[in-house]
Amino acid sequence: MRRHGVLIPNYVPGDSIVHRTPLWLKFLLVAACGLASFLVVDWMVSAAVLAVMCGLFLLTGAGVERLARSVWLVTPILAAIGAVQWWQLGGPTAARIVLNVLVCVVAAAVLTVTTPVQALLDGVVALSRPFKRLGADPERFALTIAIMLRSLPFIAGAFSDVRDSARARGLERNPRALVLPVFITTVAYARQTGDALAARGLGEPAD
Amino acid sequence: MSSTETASSRQTPNRARWTSTDIGLIAVFAALVAASTQIPGIPVGALGVPITLQTLAVILTGLVLGGGRAFAAVGLYTLLGFAGLPIFSGGRSGLGILATPSAGYIIAFPLAAAASGWLAAIVIRRTVKYRALFLFAAAMASTIVIIHGLGVLGFMVNAKFDFTKAFLADLPYYPGDTIKNVLAAIIAVSLHKAFPDILVRRVK
Amino acid sequence: MNTIILSEVSVRVAVDGAPAPKTLLQDVSLELTEQRIAVIGANGSGKSTLLRLLNGLVAPSEGTVSVNGADSTRDVRRVRSKVGFVFTDPLSQLVMPTGREDVELSLRRSIKNSTERRARAEAVLERFGLLDLADQSIYELSGGERQLLALAAVLAVNPAVLVLDEPSTLLDLRNRELLRRTLAGLEQQIIMSTHDLGLALEADRALVVDDGRIVFDGGPADAVEHYRALCAAEPAQGAR
C-alpha cells in the first residue's frame, strides 16, 4: 500500500494563530465556505475568498507544497467541469464554479492541517452529545469518522492501482476483471480494520 | 484475512448493535463512495450534473452491506459532505448543495443504498441461482424509484423545471446507471462469494 | 500469573457451496500458564485460529475459552481488555495516520481527559523509543518501527497477556533482533506464533499445530525437532 494524493491533508503540528483558533470557529469557516459557494454570484468575489483561504493555509506554516498537493487531486475534475461550463455558460460562470470548489477544498484543508485527529474526534463527540438521548453513541460515531478519513487515501490508491494495472496489461476487455480487485481489496481492508478495532477493544457497543 | 466468523458477529444475530466489524465496513464503504467521486465525471446537460462512478458505489454498498449498514455508510458520507468535506461529485461540499439541481440525487443516495440493501438481503437469503439477475433487479428498482424519482424532483424544485423538462434532464443518466447497475450486481455476486458471511450471518 | 484455559475447543466455518463446514481447529484442550509460549506449524495449520481464540476474535464452535475466569464469548470485553493482540502486518492494525494518534486512540476508552491522555501517550512512546517518530506518517516508518508502534499501542492499555501472530514474518534480521529484545523485556505473559525457530527455542513451552490439531506440546527444543520431522515426512501439499 502506498500513500496517495491526499485530498484532505494530515495534521501538521504548529503554533500559528490558525492552530490556536478554537475548533468550532474553524468548523464554522468550513461550513460557511460550503454555503457561500452557492450564494456568491461574482467570480471575482470567489477569487478573493480563495486568496484569503490560501493565505490562511500558508499562515499555518504547512507550506505551499501541501497546499498544491491537496488541490492537485481535484484538478482533473475541475478541468473537465470548467471546460464544459465555459462552453455552456461562458467564462465568468465557469470561473466562479471552479473557484468555489477550490475554496471548499482549501477551507477543509485549513481545518485538517491545523487540528489533530484526536481533537477532531473530541469535537465530533461534543457535537453529537445532544443525540445521545436518541440512542447515538458519540464515541463510536467519532471513531467511524476517523476510520473513514483514514481509509480515503487507501481506497483512492486502490482505484489508481487499477488504472495502472490496466495500463500495464493493455486495456482489459472485461470490466469485471478490471474493477473487481478494487472491491475485494476494499472489503478485505474493511474486515482487517474491524478485526484490528475488535482486538483492541475499540468500537464495540457500550454495555 | 480469514473468513472465520468473529465472536462478536455471533453474539448479535441481527443488526441490533453494530460490532467493530460493522464499524469497519461502514467507515470503509463511506470512504469508497467518497473516493468514487474523485474519479473525473462527465458533466451532462446544461446544468452540468456529472456522471460519476458514484451511483455504482452507492448501489454496491447497498448490495453488499444490506439496508441498515448501507444507509449508515452512505448517510455518513452525505453528512461529512454537508459538513464541508469536499467529497460530493466535482469536489463540492456544504449544505449549499441542497440549493442546486443535484440536491435530489444527494438526498436519494442514502435512501437508495438502504432500499437496494434491504432487497439484496432478501435475495441473498432466498436464492443461490441467478443471484446476479435478482440483485440487478433490486438495484434497478432502487435506482429508478429513488434516485431518478428524487433526481427529477430536484430539477423541478431547484431548477424550476416542469415535469417534462425535468424528466428529460434526468433521462441522460439512465443508460449509464443501467450499465453501472449491471456492473454492481456482478461485483456484488463475486463479493458475496469471496466473503460469504458479509451480509447474512450463518448459523453453523 | 495468568491462566488461559481452552477446553475441548473446535472451530468450524461454513464454506459457500460446500455441504459440510470446514474444520479449522479440532478438539483442543490446553491450559496456558507459562510466561513465554511459542506456537509453531505450517501455513494454514490453524495457528492463527488458535491465537485468535485467545482474545475472542474467533469464537469456538464447540467448547470454551477462558482467560483468568472470563469466558471469551460471553465476556468478550473483559477478555479483550486483558489480552492484547498484535497482528502480522502492523499496517492492518494501526488505524490512525500517526503513531501519537494511534496510541491516543488506544487510550480513549480508559482516559477521558485529553491532556492526561496526551501525557500518557507520550510516556508510552518514550518507553519504546518512538517519541521522535510520533508525528510521522505511519507509512514513512520502517517495518520494524511500525511493528514496535503496533506493540506500543497495544501495550498502552496494559494488558496482562500479549498474543502475537507471526510478528517477525515481515521483518528483516535487524528488526527481528530489535523485536526479540523488546519482547524479552516485557513482564506480560506472551503467546506467539512464529516461523522463526530461533525465537521459538527461547520459549518456556512450545506447541506444534498441524491440520487443526495440537500434535506436540512440551519443551521448545523437542517441539522444533518434532516440527522438522513433520515437515520432512510430509512434503508440502499446496492448498491445505
Q: Give the DSSP per-residue string, B95-147.
A: GGGGGSTTHHHHHHHHHHHHHHHHHHHHHHHH-STTHHHHHHHHHHHHIIIII
Which residues from chain A sit within 8 angstroms of residue B25, using beta carbons?
Answer: 187, 190-191, 194
Determine the number of helices (DSSP H) and then strands (DSSP E) in chain B: 9, 2
What domains are there in chain B, each with its CATH number?
A: 7-194 (1.10.1760.20)
Please tell me the distance in Å from A207's CA to the nearest CA on chain B.
10
Q: Where are the alpha helices (DSSP H) in chain A?
A: 17-20, 23-39, 43-59, 64-72, 75-89, 91-114, 117-128, 138-169, 175-199
**Residue whose entry in the numeric block shows the C-alpha cell 460469504:** B196
User: Which helix (H) or strand (E) covers residue B49, if one does?
Assistant: strand B49-51
Does B45 contact C at CB distance below 8 Å? no
Selected residues 106-145 of chain A with any CB under 8 Å from a CB in chain B: 107-108, 111, 140, 143-145
Residue A135 has pLDDT above 70, yes or no: no
Does A177 contact B at CB distance below 8 Å? no
Which residues have CB under 8 Å from C12's CB, separation 6+?
Answer: B204, C21, C22, C23, C24, C61
CA–CA gap between residue C142 and residue C168 (Å, rounded): 13
**Cβ-defined contact of C93 to A196 (cutoff 8 Å):** yes
| Closest B-chain CA to C19 | B204
Comparing C-alpha atoms, which of A49, B125, A201 is closest to residue C154?
Answer: A201
CA–CA gap between residue B52 and residue B70 (Å, rounded): 19
Q: Are strands C36-41 and C62-67 parallel, antiparallel or unpaired?
A: unpaired
**Contact indicator for C134, C99 with CB cutoff of 8 Å:** yes
C-beta neighbour count of A125 within 10 angstroms = 18
**Contact indicator for C96, C156 with CB cutoff of 8 Å:** no
Nearest Cβ partner for A183 among B39, B82, B191? B191
Query: Which set of grid coordinates corresponds to residue A127?
Result: 457535537
pLDDT at B202: 44
What average pLDDT is seen over chain C?
Answer: 87
Summarised one tens digit per residue, pLDDT across range A85-124 is 777 777 887 788 788 878 888 888 888 788 877 777 777 7
Angstrom distances, CA of residue B160 to CA of B96, B154, B165, C16, C129: 17, 9, 9, 51, 63
| Closest A-chain CA to C54 | A199
**Residue whose entry in the numeric block shows the C-alpha cell 424528466:** B167
Residue A172 has pLDDT above 80, yes or no: no
Using alpha carbons only, what angle is made at residue C193 by residues C188 and C194, rounded to the nearest 5 degrees?
115
Comparing C-alpha atoms, which of B18, B17, B33, B118 is closest to residue B76?
Answer: B33
Which residues from chain A sit within 8 angstroms of residue B96, using beta carbons?
Answer: 34-39
Selected residues 50-89 of chain C with any CB under 8 Å from a CB in chain A: 55-57, 76-77, 80-81, 84-85, 87
pLDDT at B43: 53
User: Which helix (H) or strand (E) covers residue C232, if one does?
Assistant: helix C220-233
pLDDT band at C234 (very low <50, low <70, confident <90, very high): low
Nearest Cβ partner for C81 among A139, A197, A201? A201
Residue percentage of chain A with pLDDT more than 70? 79
**Residue whose entry in the numeric block shows the C-alpha cell 503496533:** C150
Mean predicted confidence (pLDDT) in A193-197: 89
Nearest Cβ partner for C14 among B10, B193, B204? B204
pLDDT at B117: 94
CA–CA gap between residue B30 and residue B37 (Å, rounded): 11
Which residues from chain B sit within 8 angstroms of residue A131, using beta carbons?
Answer: none
Q: Which chains touch A (3 or more CB pairs under 8 A)?
A: B, C
Summarised one tens digit per residue, pLDDT across range A16-47 is 878 888 888 888 888 788 777 667 778 888 88
CA–CA gap between residue B92 and residue A97 (Å, rounded): 10
Please tell me the distance in Å from B192's CA to the nearest CA on chain C.
9
**Cβ-defined contact of C135 to A119 (cutoff 8 Å):** no
| Closest C-chain CA to B195 | C16
pLDDT at B133: 92
CA–CA gap between residue B153 and residue B17 (Å, rounded): 35
What is the CATH class of C4-233? alpha beta
DSSP bridge pairs for C84: C162
Q: Indicate the angle between helix axes A23-39 and A91-114, nearest 10 degrees.
A: 170
Which residues from chain B sit within 8 angstroms of residue C15, using beta carbons?
Answer: 196
Which residues from chain A sit within 8 angstroms of residue C101, using beta carbons?
Answer: 116-118
Which residues from chain A sit within 8 angstroms of residue C105, using beta carbons?
Answer: 118, 143, 146, 202
**Cβ-defined contact of B92 to A104 (cutoff 8 Å):** yes
Which residues have CB under 8 Å from A154's CB, separation 6+?
Answer: A1, A4, A189, B31
C-beta neighbour count of B45 within 10 angstroms = 18
* b/e code B70-102 from CB counts within 10 Å (16+ = b): bbbbbbbbbebbbbbbbbbbbbbbbebbbebbb
pLDDT band at B46 (very low <50, low <70, confident <90, very high): low
Q: Indicate the angle between helix axes A75-89 and A91-114, nearest 10 degrees.
A: 160
Identify the top-confidence range among A1-15, B71-85, B90-104, B111-125: B111-125
CA–CA gap between residue C127 and residue C44 (Å, rounded): 35
